[in-house]
Amino acid sequence: MKKTLLLSVVASTMIMAGGDIAPVEPAVEAPVVEETSGWEANGQIVGYTQTVDEFGKGEIFGDGSTYSALGVQMGAVNKDIIAGIGAGFEVSAIMQDDLLFDDQTGAGFYGTGGNAGTQSAGLTQAYLTYGLGNTSLKVGRQTLPMALSPFAYSEGWQVFKNTFDAGLIVNSDIPDTTLVGAVVTNANRSVGPYLNSGSFNQINAEGDVVYMLTAQNKSISGLTLTGTYYYAPDMFVTEDASVLWADAKFNISDYSIALQGGTIIGAADAIAGGADTVAFGAKVGAQFSMFDTSFGASVAYSSVDEGTVGITNLGTGVKSPLYTQMVLNNVGQLHAKDSDYLKVSANVAAFAGKLVVNYGMAVEKRDGNGVALADGAGASPYEVDVMYTQGLGANTKLFAAYVLTDADIDGQDSNNFVRVWARYSF
C-alpha cells in the first residue's frame, strides 16, 4: 500500500520482477538535428522466456511457473519532414505462447500470476521533434532514458521498453552544462515482462501532470554532476510530492567513483504515520585488460531509511536508480526500502561475448519502523546473478541469465530463476 502512494507519480506499474544487465545510459546532451530527410524504418523481433521455481513451490520450465512470448515492433523516423520538424512512430505487438505453457496460474511476485493470458498491441511511440540552435524539443509518446529522468525512465529488461506521453526540452547554451525539462502526462502500463501497450493512464492520481528539471555539468574533466527535481501537484491529496536526487561520477584512467543521494518529500505531512524517504549510495569500480581480455569489477553500497515510499523507478515501480540494483532484488524492495545493501560485481569478455557475475545482500533489512529484522525473518536476503550477453552477427543479440536468491527465512528453500531472450533488430 505504501509504495503505491507515489507509484503513479511518473507513470505505469509493473508487478513482475525483472532486470538484466543495466544499459549504458547516454550523456545528457542536446540531440543533433541532422540535415537528412526521408523516412527511415526500424524494428525488432524478440523471442523471450523466463521461468522460476518460486522457492520450491514450482519447477523450472513447469506449467504455471514459465512465461514465454514473441514480440514484433516496427517504427519509422523522419528527422526533417518540413522546416526542421521531425517525427517518429512505433507500433508494438506481443503474443504469449499459451500453446507451450497453458497453465499460467503461478502465484506470488516471482510467478506469472496475474500476467496470464495478456496479449497486447498498440502505438507505443508517436512524437514530433524540433531543433533551434542549442535547444531541441520532443513532444508526444516517447521513451525516457534514465540519464535524463532517473525516477521516470524506460526500462530495458522486458520484451519492449515502456513509454510515456511527455514533452521534453533540452538546452546546452551554458558551457559544459545541459538543462532538461519535462512535462509527463500519461504512461503505458508494463505488466510482467511483456508490454500492455494499448493502455495509457494518467501519471498522477489527482489528474495533474508531473514536472521534471534536470541539470548536468561537466566543467571539471572526468567529473559529471547531475541533479534532478520532480514536482507532482496534489499527489498526496493534501500535499504535493517532490523528489530531489543528485548523482556525481568521477572517472580517472580505468577507475571510477560515484556518489548518489536524495529524498522523496510529501508523505510525512499528508499521511498519518507517513515519513519522507532519504537515501544515499556509493560505488567504486575499475576496468582493465589482461592477456588480451577485458575485465571489470565494482563494489556498490546503498542505504534507504524507513520512509513511506521506496527509492524505485516511479514510472514502473520495478527498477531503481540505485547502484545496488540487481535482477530480482526489486521484489519486495529488498534494497530500495528500509535496508542497507551491498553489491559486488565482476565482468569479463569471454566466449565472444560478455559474462557478468553479481553478488548482493541486505547488510541490514528493517521492518518499516527502523527496527532491524531478526535472523529467520528475511534479515539477510542474498542474490547471485550470472548473466551472459553475446552478439550473433550484426543485428542479433542473445541474453541468458541464472539468478539464485535466498531470503534467509526459516523453512524456505532458495529460489532459482532463468531468463533467456534473443533480439533481432532491423
Short-list 208, 269, 210, 270, CA closest to 237: 270
Q: Which phi and psi (to 5°) does residue 73 adopt?
A: -135, 135
CB 276 within 8 A of CB 236: no
| pLDDT of res. 317 | 78
| Span 325-336, pLDDT tens digits | 999 998 878 899
- Report CA 381 to chain centroid distance, whole Å: 21
- Specify the pLDDT at position 69: 84
- Which of 257, 209, 199, 259 is CA-nearest to residue 235? 209
State how far the Cα of 117 lies from the Cα of 112, in Å rounded to an integer: 10
**Alpha helical stretches, state H, 75-123:** none
Which three cell numbers mark 39?
523516412
**Predicted pLDDT at 286:** 97
Q: Using one digit for the tens of pLDDT, what is the confidence trace for 222-265?
A: 999 999 999 988 877 778 889 999 999 999 999 999 999 999 99
- Model's pTM, two decimal places? 0.85
Cα first-last separation, the chain: 42
- Tell me the average pLDDT of the chain: 82
Rounded Cα gap, residues 185 and 376, in angstroms:
43
Backbone angles phi, psi at 191, to 5 degrees: -110, 115
Would you state the pLDDT for residue 14?
28
Instruction: Give, in order, the Cα–Cα distances in Å from 346 to each of 206, 328, 396, 419.
Output: 44, 18, 24, 20
Question: What torsion do the CA atoms of 360, 364, 366, 371 make, to the nearest 10 degrees?
Answer: 180
Q: Given this model, what pLDDT does residue 128 score? A: 98
Low-confidence ranges of the chain (pLDDT < 70): 1-37, 97-119, 189-198, 205, 376-379, 408-412
Which residues are CB-neighbours of 179 under 8 A, at least 6 positions away? 170, 171, 172, 213, 214, 215
pLDDT in tens, 84-114: 999 999 998 888 764 444 443 333 333 332 2
CB 304 within 8 A of CB 320: no
How many Å apart are CA 419 and CA 313, to the nearest integer?
21
Predicted local distance difference test score (pLDDT) of residue 100: 44
Residues ≥6 apart with Cβ < 8 Å to 262:
243, 244, 245, 246, 278, 279, 280, 311
Phi, psi of 114 (to 5 degrees): -70, 0
Which CATH code for domain 4-425?
2.40.160.10
Helix, strand or coil, per DSSP, at residue 269: helix
Q: What are the tens digits of pLDDT across the range 256-279? A: 999 999 999 988 777 777 889 999
Distance of alpha carbon 119 from alpha carbon 75, whole angstroms: 20
Helix (H, G, I), strand (E, B) or coil at 68: strand
Q: Which amino acid is present at 202?
A: Q
